[in-house]
Amino acid sequence: RHRFWETQPVGQFKDLGDASLPEGPIEAPTPLSDVKPEPYNLPSQYEWTTCDMDDDQTCGEVYSLLTNNYVEDDENMFRFNYSKEFLRWALHPPGYYKAWHIGVRVKASKKLVAFITGVPARIRVRDAIIRMAEINFLCVHKKLRSKRLAPVMIKEVTRRVHLENIWQAAYTAGVILPTPITTCRYWHRSLNPKKLIDVGFSRLGARMTMSRTIRLYKLPESTVTPGFRKMELRDVPAVTRLLRQYLSQFVVAPDFDESDVEHWLLPLENVMDSYLVESPETHEITDFCSFYTLPSSILNNQNYTVLKAAYSYYTVSMKTPLLQLMNDALIVAKQKDYDVFNALDVMYNESFLKELKFGPGDGQLHYYLYNYRIRNALKPSELGLVLL
Ligand code: NHW
Ligand code: EN5
């Protein structure tokens, strides 16, 4: 059924529920001298290219490929539209490898037609902290689909990751592959219900009018938590401590140090928003929330071209109730003109989704590990990892 994935060191469907299989790496590392030193073969019209995302032209080519060919919803009404600034940021975390930003060009025209990336991360699975690659932005041009290019791209990124002596990876997908460590649901909180209904993102509920719907989703003008403010560079040590402590309770979560927090969580205009609660009395940092900006192109609509979406990232509630913290996040997102606020049912998110008027989406997100077996699938609430 899965000609490619059956050959890879991933949990296989036939092994589900086999209690004799140990948890941990599926294959042992090989000596680096045994890693294939030259790239995999592509069909002869194509060539490999390493994409320097600091180069404006290259970044623009990647942006165009993804804008026109990346992930769509099941009815092809919306397509993810990651911005150039977002792509640059997502691909340049501490210790990144340029060789892991891999493109495929047509030899004759140099047109970029496929892409895949990895970035390094330390991910904890139960007690074990493992160096991994986070794989993302796999894309093959629409005209070159179903030609088995994706397996070659995956093998090539795997080879380049192995060359750095890294043997595990984490990735997410909307499709089912062998085999998810957990399956999450997307939830959506309308901020601009009229536009969402106009573009077909949501529907007017039964026995609902537009004005009742607008009233239903109305939010206060300003945040309510005393001491709620934007995160700053000076907050990195306190936020790192808070986040490390909080993430320690989940089965799978990133192992963030201060340089990771500085990169992944500091606010970056139109990319990352992060807020915290500083106690007005003690000046302690007690809570934290963040969301990233990922617009979607609206395909085939006369009135609108982009949907401005915020995606919940990492949240830590120690003193402020999670419900109130997330409500403040909704309020700032509304102030900043986002149309919708999205969240997965990971970590403690279940506890606020219904009360804050999120509704379940029609999309799922499956989480995977490469070359690492987990004995039983996790519940989404046991997962402390959010990929972009
Ligand atoms: S998920 C987003 C993936 N991108 C899109 O959905 C964009 C639109 N679609 C496309 O561009 C986030 C194409 O349809 C793609 C497939 C390129 C998806 N992951 O070339 P063929 C990520 O980026 C398998 C993994 O003919 P195609 C995460 C499929 O099951 N495998 O198909 C990426 C089949 O294998 P099988 C996927 O439609 C994680 C084979 O590809 C997949 O022209 C990557 C068919 O290939 C997906 N999303 O191109 C894995 N979609 O065995 C990283 C399909 O079933 C692993 N396939 O026959 C770790 C690597 C590092 C290890 C380090 C130690
Ligand atoms: C790797 N980083 O399907 C990501 N999105 O629900 C790759 N649905 O937006 C994998 N179909 O339910 C990504 N509106 C996998 C996701 C791919 C994109 C996707 C879904 C997630 C989505 C929307 C629009 C559906 C349009 C028709 C949806 C309902 C919202 C409604 C708001 C009011 C309350 C009830 C729910």
Ligand nearest to the CA of 354: 2
* Residues acting as catalytic residues: 388
CA torsion sign for 198, 387, 154, 14 is negative
Architecture of domain 5-176: 3-Layer(aba) Sandwich (3.40)
From 379, 326, 388, select the one nearest 185 (Cα to Cα).
Answer: 379
Q: Is 201 in the pocket of ligand 2 (CB under 6 A)?
A: yes
Distance from the alpha carbon of residue 110 to the mean position of ligand 1, in angstroms: 23
239: tokens are 């936020």
Region of residue 246 (left: phi > 0; alpha: psi -120 to 50; beta: else): alpha
Tens-of-pLDDT digits for all 388 residues of the chain? Answer: 899 999 999 999 999 999 999 999 999 999 999 999 999 999 999 999 999 999 999 999 999 999 999 999 999 999 999 999 999 999 999 999 999 999 999 999 999 999 999 999 999 999 999 999 999 999 999 999 999 999 999 999 999 999 999 999 999 999 999 999 999 999 999 999 999 999 999 999 999 999 999 999 999 999 999 999 999 999 999 999 999 999 999 999 999 999 999 999 999 999 999 999 999 999 999 999 999 999 999 999 999 999 999 999 999 999 999 999 999 999 999 999 999 999 999 999 999 999 999 999 999 999 999 999 999 999 999 999 999 9
Q: What is the pLDDT of residue 290?
A: 98
Q: Is 359 in the pocket of ligand 2 (CB under 6 A)?
A: yes
* Helical spans, DSSP H, in the chain: 56-69, 84-90, 149-162, 193-198, 210-216, 236-247, 258-265, 322-335, 350-353
Give the rounded distance of the alpha carbon of 131 from its chain centre.
Answer: 18
Q: Is 299 in the pocket of ligand 2 (CB under 6 A)?
A: no
User: Are 343 and 311 in contact, with CB atoms under 8 Å apart?
Assistant: yes
Distance from the alpha carbon of residue 256 to the mean position of ligand 1, in angstroms: 27
CATH class of 183-382: alpha beta
Please tell me what DSSP assigns to residue 238: H
Query: How far apart are alpha carbons 330 and 187 in whole angstroms?
Result: 13
Q: Is 42 in the pocket of ligand 1 (CB under 6 A)?
A: no
Cα Rg for the chain, rounded, in angstroms? 21
User: Are 2 and 178 in contact, with CB atoms under 8 Å apart?
Assistant: yes
Tell me which residue has its CA closest to atom 25 in ligand 2: 201
Distances (CA, A) of 130 to 66, 165, 220: 30, 12, 43
Q: How far apart are the first and last CA of the chain?
A: 29
197 CB-near residues (< 8 Å, 6+ apart): 203, 204, 210, 213
Query: How far apart are alpha carbons 346 and 187 in whole angstroms?
Result: 11
Tell me which residue has its CA closest to atom 12 in ligand 2: 361
Q: Which residues on adjacent β-strands are paired with residue 47?
A: 105
Beta strands in the chain (DSSP E): 46-50, 78-80, 101-106, 112-125, 128-140, 168-173, 182-190, 228-230, 252-254, 272-278, 285-293, 296-298, 306-307, 309-317, 340-344, 359-370
Does this chain's domain 5-176 share its CATH topology with 183-382? yes
6 CB-near residues (< 8 Å, 6+ apart): 12, 178
Q: What is the pLDDT of residue 382?
A: 98
Q: Where are the domains of the chain?
A: 5-176, 183-382
- Taking the CA atoms of residue 122, residue 344, residue 348 and residue 338 in that order, the dihedral angle to the nearest 10 degrees is 100
200: tokens are 């077909």
